[in-house]
Chain A
Amino acid sequence: MKEVHVDTVISALEKLFIDANYDLSQNVLDTLEKSIDKEESPVGKEVLRELIKNANLAKEERIPICQDTGLAVTFIEVGQDVHIIGGSLVDAVTEGVRRGYAKGYLRKSACHPFARKNTGDNTPAILHTKIVPGDKIKITVLPKGGGSENYGSVKMLVPSEGKEGMKALVLEMVTKGGPNPCPPIIVGVGIGGNFETSALLSKEALMEPLGKRNENPEIAALEEELLTAINKTGIGPQGYGGTVTALDVHVKMLPCHIASLPVAVNIQCHAHRIKEAII
């Protein structure tokens, strides 16, 4: 049994949220670079150049990529041979988020749903944990802004609506969002499972590297088909018109109930901030 002290988790979380908000990953930067050639609109190209300039400035001068430094979405895979000592894992995550958002000068965007009073420290985190084999802890953070999250949807389709129904829902959400989720966007689609599983799958789909296709050829074909359809909408970078509306689409699929067809769509902005650490 490997012992991991909660202080290690706190420090890891603090660093991950700061790094994620300042350093856009090379994978996203490379994808933005490549998208300039794919973009037909001169205004769209200009926007893409601004985004690359922005990411480089953020990294060099330590300024957050975007002022909306998001809710603190955190995925933790805990090896079943790990014993966490010194306190609770959930409290450690909360403390890590609190410290990261304070020390990193990140905006605190968590508030009461109705009174809209800010919680002041960006807690609580949005925490998803999974028990996995092994003696490691893998932490992935995905600070996510409100503008893109607002265009997510979970719909329980009728099975007869099938693939076309799924595709229609994805395009409906992308079109409804238009410029608001800050295109070029990344689209995560969760299909199957049940109501809450589909939503979680759509978020997990966003964690796949850009440009990577699903290993299952059926799902890979769906990803290609959706990406092509989204880039024909004309929305373009920032919604100013163009041919690069999405940088990529990732789909995750599980079996579902014989009476159901759950589909979830989760939209991410171009400032796709994601970092992971293994303890």
Chain B
Amino acid sequence: MEIKRIKTPLEVNIIEQLKAGEKVYLNGYIYTARDAAHKRFIDTLNEGGKLPFDIQNQVIYYCGPSPAPPGRVIGACGPTTSSRMDAYAPKLISLGLKGMIGKGKRSQAVKDAIKQFKAVYFGATGGAGALLSKSVKSSEAIAYEDLGPEAVMKLNVVDLPLFVINDIYGSDLYESGTAQYKK
């Protein structure tokens, strides 16, 4: 199938071209964060603090990698279930976050925020942690190292294979795909 190459920071004119069901290769810097890190992001914002990185036009990957063995940049690094981040995502999208990578369905509030603020939700193949790790060229823990596998890491990725799930036009691959093949 045809594959689009895109890069971070994600610009709106690129997001406008992405449609649910398309495969893309993502390039550039992205940030990992899962449950515990998201809770801290929101607690920090509520206390009037600053996030550990500037999220303008950035992409967050819902991922807690396995430990990197000696000589490797990262361990296996597939996606975790995104719905656990649904409570926090709309706030981050409203502040400039443009992309999220994970697996599984999003809440209506997240889908609404994706449309309203022009963002995008990508699916990475769950359980393909070895394959996805091959796209990671560098990794650096930049915050919350006390959280172990849940620390925030800055990853440099080359051709990270993803599918567009929720686009700005309101399409949802989980719904349209399932409806198409239901018998």
Residues of A within 8 A of B (CB): 40-44, 46-47, 50-51, 53-55, 57-58, 61-69, 105-109, 116, 118, 145, 147, 150, 178-180, 182, 232-236, 238-243, 269-271
Q: For the complex, give the distance between the alpha carbons of A104 and B130 in Å.
A: 14
Chain B residue contacts of A238, Cβ below 8 A: 103, 123, 125-126, 163
Interface residues of B in 137-183 (CB under 8 A from A): 148-149, 161, 163, 173-174, 176-183
> Are A61 and B130 interface neighbours, CB within 8 A?
yes
> Are B181 and A68 interface neighbours, CB within 8 A?
no
Q: For the complex, give the distance between the alpha carbons of A233 and B174 in Å.
A: 12
Most central of A64, A145, A243 by chain B CB within 10 Å = A64
> Are A66 and B78 interface neighbours, CB within 8 A?
yes
Q: For the complex, give the distance between the alpha carbons of A242 and B180 in Å.
A: 8
What's the count of A-B pairs with C-beta under 8 Å? Answer: 167
| Extra 12 A-B pairs, beta carbons < 8 Å, given A47-B125, A66-B128, A238-B125 | A43-B177, A63-B133, A66-B129, A67-B129, A105-B66, A107-B64, A107-B149, A179-B104, A179-B174, A233-B182, A242-B177, A269-B127
Q: Is the interface of A mostly helix, strand, loop or mixed?
A: loop
Chain A residue contacts of B134, Cβ below 8 A: 57
- Is B14 an interface residue, CB under 8 A from the partner? no
27 contacts between A and B (CB under 8 A): A40-B181, A41-B177, A50-B128, A54-B127, A63-B76, A64-B129, A66-B128, A67-B66, A68-B80, A105-B75, A107-B76, A116-B36, A147-B80, A147-B103, A147-B126, A179-B103, A179-B104, A180-B103, A182-B103, A232-B182, A233-B182, A234-B183, A235-B178, A238-B103, A238-B126, A238-B163, A269-B126
Contact of B76 among A43, A65, A179, A242 (CB under 8 A): A65
Residues of B within 8 A of A (CB): 1, 21, 23, 36, 63-69, 72, 75-78, 80-81, 83, 103-105, 123, 125-134, 148-149, 161, 163, 173-174, 176-183
Chain B residue with minimal CB distance to A240? B177
Contact of A105 among B23, B67, B177 (CB under 8 A): B67
Chain B residue with minimal CB distance to A182? B126
> Are A178 and B177 interface neighbours, CB within 8 A?
no
Chain A residue contacts of B131, Cβ below 8 A: 50, 53-54, 57
> Are B66 and A241 interface neighbours, CB within 8 A?
no
> Are A46 and B1 interface neighbours, CB within 8 A?
yes
Q: For the complex, give the distance between the alpha carbons of A68 and B132 in Å.
A: 13
Write the nearest CB–CB distance from A262 to chain B, whole angstroms.
28
Chain A residue contacts of B77, Cβ below 8 A: 67
> Are B130 and A180 interface neighbours, CB within 8 A?
no
Chain A residue contacts of B174, Cβ below 8 A: 178-179, 239-241
Known: A68-B80, A234-B177, A238-B126. A179 touches B1 (CB 8 A): no
Q: For the complex, give the distance between the alpha carbons of A156 and B123 in Å.
A: 36
Write the nearest CB–CB distance from B16 to chain A, whole angstroms.
21
Contact of A271 among B66, B67, B127, B133 (CB under 8 A): B127
Known: A54-B131, A241-B178. A178 touches B80 (CB 8 A): no
Q: For the complex, give the distance between the alpha carbons of A241 and B123 in Å.
A: 13
> Are A67 and B105 interface neighbours, CB within 8 A?
no
> Are B127 and A241 interface neighbours, CB within 8 A?
no
Chain B residue contacts of A53, Cβ below 8 A: 128, 131
> Are A67 and B181 interface neighbours, CB within 8 A?
no
Q: For the complex, give the distance between the alpha carbons of A233 and B104 in Å.
A: 16
> Are B130 and A58 interface neighbours, CB within 8 A?
yes
> Are A106 and B127 interface neighbours, CB within 8 A?
no
> Are A67 and B78 interface neighbours, CB within 8 A?
yes
> Are A236 and B130 interface neighbours, CB within 8 A?
no
Write the nearest CB–CB distance from B183 to chain A, whole angstroms.
4
Write the nearest CB–CB distance from B68 to chain A, whole angstroms.
7
Chain A residue contacts of B105, Cβ below 8 A: 178-180, 239
Chain A residue contacts of B83, Cβ below 8 A: 180
> Are A180 and B104 interface neighbours, CB within 8 A?
yes
> Are A65 and B163 interface neighbours, CB within 8 A?
no
